[in-house]
Each structure stands twice: as C-alpha cells, then as structure tokens.
Amino acid sequence: MLETAEKVRHPSGLFRPSRSVAFSLQIATFGEVGQVLTVADRAQQGFFDASICASIVPEESIYALLAEHGERLVSDEDFAECYAERAGRPSIPPSLLSKVLLLAYRERLSDERAMDAVRFDLRWKLALDLPLDHPGFHSTTLVRFRARLLLHGKERLVFERSLSLAKELGLIEESAEQIVDSTPMLGAAATQETVGIVRSGLRKLIDAVRSVDGGAAGRLEEGLQFDYSKPREKPDGDWSDRESRHALLREIAADAERALRAVEREAELADEETVRDARELLREIVGQEFTVDEEGVPTLRRPKDPGRVLTAHDPEIRHGRKTPAKRFAGFKLHAAATTGDQPLLTALSVTPGSDHDSQQAAPLVDQQPEERRPKRVLGDTAYGGGPVREELAEREVEVLAPVHATSPRDGKRIPKGEFEIDLEAGTVTCPQGEETRMQRPDPKGERLARFSRKACEPCPLRQRCAPGGQRAIRITRQEELRQRGAEALREPGLADYLRKTRMRIERLLGLLVHRYGARKSRYLGTKKAAFQAAWTAVLVNLHPIGAALRAEGS
C-alpha cells in the first residue's frame, strides 16, 4: 500500500524533498494464518534526488540550513508585489533565486560562476532542493531578478526576514541598546584624472543624445575638435610638457563647453531624462576641474574640491577617510548591531565616502520598526559630537560615546575642553581662573563668551591660548547634551563597558567585508551597493540564527 508524504526526515536530520514517497508493507509470516508483520514507514529516494548527499553535508553549514529552514527565511509569497496577478508567474520561483543570490554572495561568485555552481555543485543542489540532473539557469536571470527587486523596493526584504526570524527565535530584545559604526566600501569604478573624466563625461552626453536623436548626436560630434569615440585614449600631443598638457586640457574643456551649450540651446532635447542627467554630470565635472569665464574660456582649477566627482562611470563615489593617513575612493557602509552575546546586524545604509559617520546615526535608528528601535546607542568618538546627540535626543535615544573634543584647527592652542562652562550660571572660566559671562544666544542658539584683552594680555598662557590678544569661546546649543554625555562616562564601570561592548560590531563588520566581500562594491551606484550590503548582512546574521535553529530542533 503506497501513500504520499509531504516530508520525511532523513537520519542526517535534513528533510527529504516533497517528491519522496513513504510506504508500508504488510507481510504474512510463515506462522499462524492471518498473522501480520507491519514494517515501519520507510522512504524511497529517486536516483536524481540531491538528498542522497545529505549525510555528507555538515549540519552547521549554510547548505543544510537552507535545505531544512529555507522556507522560514524566504518564501514566494514575500515577492507577490513584484509580479502582476494576471500576467503569468515567473518560471523560476523568486524564493529559489533569493537562495542562489545568498550562496553567490557567500562564495563571492559572479553571476556566471554562481550558475555553474547551481549546475555542478552537489551542495547547492541540496540547498536549493534541485535534482542532480538540473541544468541550472542563465546568468541573466539573476540580473533581471535584482533589477525587479530594486524597482519594487524589495532589496532589503530578505534582510528584514532574517531579523523577523531572529526575533521569533528570541535573539532580539525589544528596546535594547545597539552599537553603531561604519567601514569603507570601495567603489567598482576606477577614479579618473582630469582628461579622462572630462572625455568620459562628454562621451556619456553624446551617447545620451544619440539615444534620443541620432542626427543631433552626429552634428554634435562634428562640432567638436577631438574624437571622443574612445574616451580613454588621450588626444595626440606632448603630455609630458606642463604647458602643452594644460593647453590640451583647456581644448578638451572647451569642447565640453561647446557640447553643453549646443545641447542647452535645444530645450526639448535637453529636457529628456537621459540627456538631462548626462548634461548635469558633465556640467558638474567641468565646474570642478576648470574655472570658466563669461566667454566660455576654461582655466584649470587648483586645488580641487575634496568632495568632487571622481569618475564619470560612477558619479556617486567620493574620497573618504577612516583615519587621517588612509584615504579611499567609494562609499561608507554604516551599520547598527545588537549588543547581546550573539550580536546581529539590525540596520544598514550606504553613503558616499565623504559623508561623516555621525550623519547616519539617526537614519540607522529611523529605518527600524518601532518595536526594534534602541533606547541607547553605543559608538566611538565620531558619534559623540553635539549634533548627533541632538538628533538622537529628539528620537528619545540616549548616546553612550566618548565626547567629541573640539580643538583649534592649528592644534597648538589650548582646546575648548580645558575651559569650565557653567550653563546654569552662564559663565566660562579659563584654565587660569579668569571668568567671563556668555552673550545672548544668536538665532542658531549659539552663545559666545569673550575674555577681555585686559585679562588675556598679562596671562602666562597667552601665546598658547590667545596669541591675537583675547580668547573667545563659542558654546553651541548642544553643550548641555555634550556635558551630560561626558558626565555619564564618569560613572564607575561605564567607560569600560563601552570599550568592551562596542568592539562586538567590529567582528560583524569583519565578516561582512572580509569573508563575504562587502569591502568592494560589485556594482555602480549607491543603491546597488546598498543591495549588496543588505544581502551579505543576511549571511552574517545567519551565523547566530543557524545556531538557534539547530538548538531548537535538537
């Protein structure tokens, strides 16, 4: 007698695919008539069933985790909004493609190599519940799937599902504290020098015009001095001679100005979205690299803006610094994490590399649902400044971070932190004991305390404090929050707790950028870089989630 069974547990602990069959046999013995021996339910496997490999796949691996608990992490119903109700369904389930993406990011494979793994790797067959003879899919399937998720705003769906599963397993406490930090994420495009970025920007404009009006693009190219069909190739000339090099750069900039003015004269053409974007990019590039007078004559600009566009291929990357000595070109990956024994990443954002760490503290809190928002965030000195404390105080979130000390730009004068600021009395006292009163707040809420020249001139610390004759201290509207933060760290054991706890996010970021490849973006643009960050963050969260699921099933 045969009867189908939805799932049968294998001795290895994994569930067999739903196509397996359970059966029971009634066998008559040679004994008494009518005596029946019932054999326990047994499972029959197909020859091409990937579960025959289950016993050799480690139970703690991601392959075993996806094979047994994949439906708890991602299901087809999650992607219902990405597909039309009556226009047919995708031939490849989106939950399956999601698992393929996770495995591809885990093993740092390109789309083509990932599809090779789907076809030839037994571990992938098991994780994806595919038969051994499954031929796999074309790599463009992943390209279209990512585009669909971005189009419908579902790029963070699996990340949020991982957090929902973690909460279900008791790994996330409500209203707990979280740690915030950031790490560099290198851009996918190489930075360009002046000649390369201007020529590439001009090529983009020509291509954009051609996509709208081929004839207009031909006329535009005819009016330029140089050929821009191969923007990486420099025009002929003596590039080793400084004067000759600058003259060639001015001619290239003049070409860009001619192209911009020609396009801007055609209002209907200039307003096309692709043309407008290319025109604005080229205008920004020319403006940052050259000074253009009223007659349109360009002059090379020196020095350059540190926040300038670095490449025409990815205009969103910027130079950034994690330390004064280390500069990078790309983005900053900002993250928030829980502080428990098994920390998880709870929020992520990606910004241009020039953004300061503290600018993303409030957005990291805002992107989380109300029940998951922390009551306190822990961070390093970058998050101890007044503005970030003020932003988080408005959200009723406390900040535990070293107070950001302000000091003179030259680094030689006595810093503001050595002055005693009494907000209640409205006075400021210098290291030598001289006291002065604060002025009334300005429209920004800032107050100024200026010491008299009479008090400063005879002071023995004058050369280090007020070489100009008198010292002035500016008190921001966040001074009370700053003082409260400094006072909190003086509580016994709190500074040591901050030092030990804050380091937990470093391990998570290390997994994110080193093991799973988020140190360098695979794609162009902030939005796609954030997509990569969110999916690799799922892999980081699966470490404690997998351990909890195994404990749940034991």
Q: Where are the domains of the chain?
A: 50-168, 178-184+316-402+489-544, 194-300, 416-482
> What secondary structure does DSSP assign to 494-551, as a single string?
HHHHHHHHHTHHHHHHHIIIIIS-TTB-SSSSHHHHHHHHHHHHHHHHHHHHHHHHHH
Examine the pLDDT at 14 and tell me if it is beyond 90. no
Per-residue model confidence (pLDDT) at position 409: 55
Prediction pTM value? 0.84
Instruction: Report whether the peptide linkage leading into residue 303 is cis, meaning its omega lies within 30 degrees of zero.
Output: yes
How do strand 318-323 and strand 326-338 relate by DSSP bridges? antiparallel
Give the long-range contacts of residues 431-438, CB within 8 A, separation 24 or more. 431/461, 431/465, 432/459, 432/460, 432/461, 434/459, 438/475
Per-residue model confidence (pLDDT) at position 6: 39
CA-CA distances (angstroms) from residue 96 to 99, 103, 142, 530? 5, 11, 11, 21
- Asked if 426 and 397 count as a contact pair (C-beta separation under 8 A), the reply is no
CATH number (3.40.50, 1.20.1070, 3.30.420, 3.40.1000) of 178-184+316-402+489-544 reads 3.30.420
Per-residue model confidence (pLDDT) at position 29: 32
Amino acid identity of residue 277, one-letter, is D
Check residues 470 and 346 and name the one with the higher pLDDT: 346
- Asked if 353 and 330 count as a contact pair (C-beta separation under 8 A), the reply is yes
The confidence band for 228, taking pLDDT boundaries of 50, 70 and 90, is very high
Residues 249-279: tens digit of each pLDDT: 999 999 999 999 999 998 889 899 999 999 9
Q: What is the mean pLDDT of the chain?
A: 86
* Distance from chain centroid for Cα 402: 25
Amino acid identity of residue 44, one-letter, is Q
Residues 168-205: tens digit of each pLDDT: 999 988 768 999 999 999 999 999 999 999 999 999 99
Measured CA to CA, the distance from residue 543 to residue 310 in angstroms comes to: 37
Per-residue model confidence (pLDDT) at position 296: 67
Check residues 178 and 11 and name the one with the higher pLDDT: 178
Examine the pLDDT at 23 and tell me if it is beyond 70. no
Please state the rounded mean pLDDT for residues 368-394: 92
Q: Within a 10 A sphere around the Cβ of 502, how many other Cβ atoms? A: 21
Residues 277-291: tens digit of each pLDDT: 999 999 999 999 988
Mark 314-349 as b/e (b = at least 16 C-beta within 10 Å).
bbbbbbbeeeeeeebbbbbbbbbbbbeebbbbbbbb
Q: Which of 207-216, 299-308, 487-496 has the lowest mean pLDDT?
A: 299-308
The confidence band for 40, taking pLDDT boundaries of 50, 70 and 90, is very low
Q: Which of 1-5, 40-44, 199-203 has the lowest mean pLDDT?
A: 1-5
Please state the rounded mean pLDDT for residues 291-298: 75
Measured CA to CA, the distance from residue 518 to residue 186 in angstroms comes to: 9
Number of residues that make up the chain? 554
Widest Cα–Cα separation across the chain: 122
Residues 132-176: tens digit of each pLDDT: 889 999 999 999 999 999 999 999 999 999 999 999 999 988 768
Examine the pLDDT at 35 and tell me if it is beyond 50. no
Examine the pLDDT at 448 and tell me if it is beyond 60. yes
The confidence band for 361, taking pLDDT boundaries of 50, 70 and 90, is very high
CA-CA distances (angstroms) from residue 414 to 15, 212, 437, 471? 69, 61, 19, 10
Per-residue model confidence (pLDDT) at position 37: 34
The confidence band for 27, taking pLDDT boundaries of 50, 70 and 90, is very low
DSSP H or E stretch at residue 371: none
Per-residue model confidence (pLDDT) at position 413: 79
* Distance from chain centroid for Cα 170: 26
Query: Both tokens of residue 316?
Result: 């969103």
Examine the pLDDT at 30 and tell me if it is beyond 90. no
Measured CA to CA, the distance from residue 420 to residue 487 in angstroms comes to: 14
Per-residue model confidence (pLDDT) at position 15: 37
The confidence band for 527, taking pLDDT boundaries of 50, 70 and 90, is very high
DSSP H or E stretch at residue 227: none
Check residues 106 and 418 and name the one with the higher pLDDT: 106
Examine the pLDDT at 463 and tell me if it is beyond 90. no
Examine the pLDDT at 410 and tell me if it is beyond 60. no
> What secondary structure does DSSP assign to 240-309, as a single string?
TSHHHHHHHHHHHHHHHHHHHHHHHHSHHHHTSHHHHHHHHHHHHHHHHHEEE-TT--EEE-SS--TT--
Residues 466-520: tens digit of each pLDDT: 887 889 999 999 999 999 998 999 899 999 999 999 999 999 999 999 999 999 9
Examine the pLDDT at 399 and tell me if it is beyond 70. yes
Per-residue model confidence (pLDDT) at position 19: 35
Per-residue model confidence (pLDDT) at position 404: 73
The confidence band for 9, taking pLDDT boundaries of 50, 70 and 90, is very low
Examine the pLDDT at 28 and tell me if it is beyond 60. no
Closest Cα partner for 400 from 488, 291, 276?
A: 488
Per-residue model confidence (pLDDT) at position 46: 58
CA-CA distances (angstroms) from residue 425 to 201, 455, 480, 523? 58, 20, 13, 56
Q: Which of 136-140, 320-324, 541-545 has the lowest mean pLDDT?
A: 320-324
By percentage, how much of the chain surpasses pLDDT 70?
A: 88
Closest Cα partner for 400 from 491, 508, 333, 476?
A: 491
